[in-house]
Amino acid sequence: MSDPNQTNVRRYAGKAIISCAITGGIHTPTMSPYLPCTPAQIAAEAIAAAQAGASILHLHARNPDTGAPASDPNLFMRFLPEIGKASDAVINITTGGGLGMSLDARLAAPLAARPEMCSINMGSINFGLFPMVQKYTSWRHDWEKPYLENTRDFVFKNTFADIEQILLRLGREHGVRFEFECYDVGHLYNLAHFLERGLVEPPMLVQCIFGILGGIGADGDNLVFMKQTADKLFGSDAYLLSVLAAGKMQTRLLTHSLTIGGNVRVGLEDNLFLGPGELAKSNADQVRKIRGIMEGLNLEVATPSDVRRLLQLKGKENVGF
């Protein structure tokens, strides 16, 4: 399915992209005092991560008083312009939002901001966060424990109709490119379906996600299988592989990704720790750690300009903030 006229990703061999997911909608304030929740904290963390080497910043918003995931575009607009002025990094806004949000709520901020990139989940999934409840005996906020426990009976809904709406309303209408989040092998086939229909065009950033309960497990064999499947479906020149691993397997799987030509995503959305028993004090700490591994493998860090060229982005001058 690859198009010979599209950018050949092999042209940039020797470089790898670091994405950083700053706060997300999974972890709660009880789990780490370093989780950014206010607009000022999110902006500062994003700017520092970019300075450390992240060329893509994946962004969610939170209620500044409670830390709960939030979809209000006004909250996003309290940190997006600041990040855009202080950094050349590509801003990538979630369309996943927080668990239980409606699709309209999830799309409110991206439609207002019209960024260069957005994430898009490529299928519905059981999204089990409930095992984390047993690790804590008290909570900073009343919403946290029920939010996690409710995932025992929860499906994160991303139907074909939902995906079509995101692709059309953001991609076709506003020129947004996507971080295609694939939590299992079937999600790669869903992406191939939309590629065949022409609703998706290469080059694509395919974010393979490992270690979420309900999705594919976090081990090296699964990573190789996901890459082999993506190569078969898309052609190796039509997409960029990126990998994130939830929790303790983050460094191991990201290093594996780098050794097979992939890219990486770090950040407090995906993992609160820097090492065993050591909370990461910032997103930038995680960026610096993976950057050190990259440099040990003789890989250069891809710049925001590299990313814009590789993914054919519309440029930061064409966003809505």
Domains of the chain: 11-313 (3.20.20.70)
Q: What is the pLDDT of residue 3?
A: 43
93-96 contacts at long range (C-beta below 8 A, 24 or more positions apart): 93/59, 93/117, 93/118, 93/119, 94/24, 94/25, 94/58, 94/59, 94/60, 94/118, 94/119, 95/119, 95/120, 95/121, 95/166, 95/170, 96/25, 96/121, 96/156, 96/181
> pLDDT digit string (tens) for 99-148?
999 999 999 999 999 999 999 999 999 999 999 999 999 999 999 999 99
Residue type, 319: V
DSSP code per residue over 260-309: TT-EEEESTTT-SEEETTEE-S-HHHHHHHHHHHHHHTT-EEPPHHHHHH
Low-confidence spans in the chain with pLDDT less than 70: 1-12
Between CA 216 and CA 208 the distance in angstroms is 9
- Local structure of 218: helix, strand or coil: coil
Buried-state track 135-160, b at ≥16 Cβ within 10 A, e below 16: eeeebeeebbbebbeebeebebebee
Angle at 24 (CA atoms; ends 87, 49), nearest 5 degrees: 30
C-alpha 189: how far from its chain's center? 19
Contact 29, 37 (CB under 8 A): yes
Q: What is the pLDDT of residue 236?
A: 87
Q: CA nearest 219: which of 230, 204, 208?
A: 208
**Token pair of 285 as six digits:** 């700490």
Contact 175, 115 (CB under 8 A): no
**Token pair of 220 as six digits:** 């090296």
Between CA 86 and CA 283 the distance in angstroms is 16
- 199 contacts: CB under 8 Å, gap ≥ 6: 164, 167, 168, 171, 172
Q: What is the pLDDT of residue 12?
A: 61
Q: CA nearest 192: which of 230, 157, 225?
A: 230
Work out whether strand 155-156 and strand 125-126 pair parallel, antiparallel, or are unpaired: antiparallel
Contact 11, 238 (CB under 8 A): no
Contact 94, 70 (CB under 8 A): no
Q: What is the pLDDT of residue 72?
A: 98
Between CA 103 and CA 193 the distance in angstroms is 21
